[in-house]
Amino acid sequence: MDYRIEKDTMGEVKVPADKYWGAQTERSRNNFKIGPAGSMPKEVVYGFAYLKKAAAYANCELGVLPEEKRNAIAQVCDEILEGKLDAEFPLVIWQTGSGTQSNMNVNEVIANRAQVLAGGKIGEGEPVLKANDDVNKSQSSNDTYPTGMHIACYKSVMEKTIPGVEKLRDTLQTKSEAFKDVVKIGRTHLMDATPLTLGQEFSGYVSQLNHGLKALRNTLEHLSELALGGTAVGTGLNAPKGYDVLVAKYIAEFTGLPFITAENKFEALAAHDAIVESHGALKQLSVSLNKIANDIRMMASGPRSGIGEILIPENEPGSSIMPGKVNPTQCEALTMVAAQVMGNDVAITIGGTQGHYELNVFKPLLAYNFLQSAELIGDACVSFDEHCAKGIEPNYRRIKELVDSSLMLVTALNTKIGYYKAAEIAQTAHRNGTTLKDEAVRLGYVSPEDFDAWVRPEDMV
């Protein structure tokens, strides 16, 4: 491989000749060989591209950056956002907790790519852009990384999480309405309880997802606040007056999302409560999805030796040794995603505690875990919807069989003969393997006609 020599304040570094990054990126590559290369989420890199372009426009409007430099920065940022330079961002999450090296990675790529676009060669002649003086003007890694992180996380929630959850929610709502007259046995403590309809059961799932979506949307206002303009410690040192408001306006314009400048930059740099808060809503959704998937998995269990109340799509063979076996694979995938998101929430909670004085130093970890959760929930909901939820149908024969054999239908007799006599009927029927009606009549507590009139599952829902 051919190399070129790049310099920074610590001296010379050999950099792959065909890459746009510079010395600080290469130092990070060499010093943090932890985990897979290129693990910094591309969403964060794109967040940086939005903010660097916005910063260039704001600095130009405020008279501290020439128009030709603004245009050069913007041109490369647009290339980054088009995915043309993805291979130029090789750094891992496990680096400095401020994300300084990723900020410099973006600065170096923009500066060197601009040099080539202008017809020059990297490291030769007068630079079109200087990474620290021009691309990073009015900025610090301490305010750029949290800004890029907020842009990435907000966009991911809006573009992946919410649409995916809504898609599944809408299907479950359709099923709830379709199943509104399907009377089935209820269960509490995994034991038989009084009847309800399958539609009522599914309506609970719809309500869970609606509440989760509401909680998530309620956190977006805090997540929309951007740290940019706080520079090193929140005071705004080296940024022109009005820059913070103006740069947020440009970010909102470029992204089409309602970003604003953070009211308090000291909080925006030193604490990441907005990330903790929003991920808490993602955790809430994962708890709901876990319950929904497990209920569906258990209701579909069997097909002959389980509950078998519903039929789910048969998507692939379930065993390499048992011919004909089919498993609830979409339920398993969704519950594994839920477990991962809950684990990510622990990491984000710990990361949120690592704000010491004027800086939180777990920023890359916070971004990585949040973005993984947002994407996983969105993708898993779409997969579960398409390959499971849409195909759910009641197993009418099995549902009727279980309702008819349930001992808890005796609850309908409570107000007629009292709790204790009703309990005696249920316990006797269970012990003798007989029906509720047989024992109710034999014990002399009700007539056959009264039993049929009072114990009607469809009237108990």
Question: What is the bridge-based pairing of β-strands 393-394 and 310-311?
Answer: antiparallel
> How far apart (Å, rounded) are the C-alpha atoms in residues 2 and 429?
85
Specify the pLDDT at position 37.
87
Residue closest to 316 by CA, chosen among 308, 325, 307: 325
Question: How many domains does the structure of the chain reveal?
Answer: 3
Residue 142 counted as domain residue? no
Q: Above pLDDT 70, what percent of the chain?
A: 100
385 lies in the same domain as 422? no
Is 51 a member of any domain?
yes
C-alpha radius of gyration, the chain, whole number:
30
- Which one of the listed residues 102, 189, 211, 301 is annotated catalytic? 189
Can you give the pLDDT at residue 128? 98
Residues 327 and 205 in one domain: yes
Q: Does the annotation list 353 as a binding residue?
A: no
**Is residue 380 domain-shared with residue 241, that is, in the same domain?**
yes
Judgement on whether residues 124 and 178 belong to the same structural domain of the protein: no
Amino acid 338: pLDDT: 98
Residues 179 and 56 in one domain: no
In a domain, 402, yes or no: no
Q: What amino acid occupies position 181? A: D
- Are 369 and 343 found together in one domain? yes
Q: What distances in angstroms separate CA 101 from CA 135, 137, 243, 434, one per listed residue?
A: 14, 16, 24, 74
- Yes or no: say if 366 and 325 are a contact pair by the CB < 8 Å rule: no
Give me the mean pLDDT over the 134-160 stretch.
98
* 166 inside domain: yes
Sign of CA dihedral 31, 33, 37, 42: negative
CATH code, domain carrying 42: 1.10.275.10
The predicted pLDDT at position 90 comes to 97
Tell me what pLDDT residue 54 has. 99
Nearest Cα residue to 135 out of 102, 106, 99, 115: 106
Share of the chain above pLDDT 90, in %: 99
Domain boundary among 137, 152, 186: 137
147 domain residue, yes or no: no
**Angle at alpha carbon of residue 401, lines to 399 and 405, rounded to 5°:** 120
Q: What are phi and psi of 36, to 5 degrees?
A: -70, 140
Q: What CATH number corresponds to the domain at position 412?
A: 1.10.40.30
Annotated binding residue 141:
yes
Q: Residue 325 CB: number of other CB atoms within 10 A?
A: 11
The predicted-structure confidence for 349-399, as pLDDT tens digits, reads as follows: 999 999 999 999 999 999 999 999 999 999 999 999 999 999 999 999 999
Residue 150 lies in a domain: no
Is 140 annotated to bind a ligand? Reply is yes
Binding site annotation covers 188? yes
d(CA 396, CA 250): 58
Contact (CB, 8 A) for 9 and 24:
no
Residues 6+ apart with CB under 8 A from 239: 138, 139, 229, 231
Report the pLDDT averaged over residues 304-325: 95
What is the distance between the alpha carbons of residues 331 and 308, in angstroms, rounded to a whole number? Answer: 15
14 annotated to bind ligand:
no
For residues 228 and 248, is the Cβ–Cβ distance under 8 A?
A: yes
325 among the known binding-site residues? yes
* Catalytic, out of 319, 356, 405, 447: 319
Does residue 413 share a domain with residue 377?
no
Same domain? For 222 and 357 the reply is yes
Residue partners of 453: CB distance under 8 A and separation at least 6: none
CA distance 38 to 42: 9
Give the model confidence (pLDDT) of 236-283 as tens digits. 999 999 999 999 999 999 999 999 999 999 999 999 999 999 999 999
Using the 3D structure, point to which of 378, 397, 416 is the last residue of a domain.
397
Quote the mean pLDDT of the chain. 97
pLDDT of residue 1 exceeding 90 = no
Given the DSSP bridges, would you call strands 3-8 and 310-311 parallel, antiparallel or unpaired?
Answer: unpaired
Question: Do 215 and 349 share a domain, yes or no?
Answer: yes
Q: Please give the residue range of the domain that contains residue 415.
A: 407-459
CATH number at residue 171: 1.20.200.10
d(CA 296, CA 331): 7
Same domain, 390 and 415: no
Q: Tokens in use for 345?
A: 């929430």
Work out the average pLDDT over 410-435: 96
- CA torsion 182-184-187-190 (nearest 10°) is -110
pLDDT for 192 beyond 90: yes
Same domain for 305 and 182, yes or no, is yes
Give residue for tokens 């969403």. 43
Is 121 assigned a ligand-binding role in the annotation? no
Question: What is the DSSP-derived secondary structure letter of residue 318?
Answer: -
Classify residue 145: in a domain, yes or no. no
- The answer as to whether 43 is a domain residue is yes
189 is catalytic: yes
Please report which helix (H) or strand (E) contains residue 191, including its range. strand 191-197
- Separation of alpha carbons 307 and 291, rounded Å: 17
Q: What is the DSSP track for 397-419?
A: HHHHHHHHH-GGGGGGGHHHH-H
In the three-class reduction of DSSP (H, G, I as helix; E, B as strand; rest coil), residue 299 is classed as helix
Same domain, yes or no: 352 and 384: yes
CB-count exposure of residue 439 (10 Å: 0-12, 13-18, 19+): buried
pTM to 2 decimal places: 0.96
Determine the Cα–Cα distance for residues 460 and 444; give it in Å rounded to an integer. 23
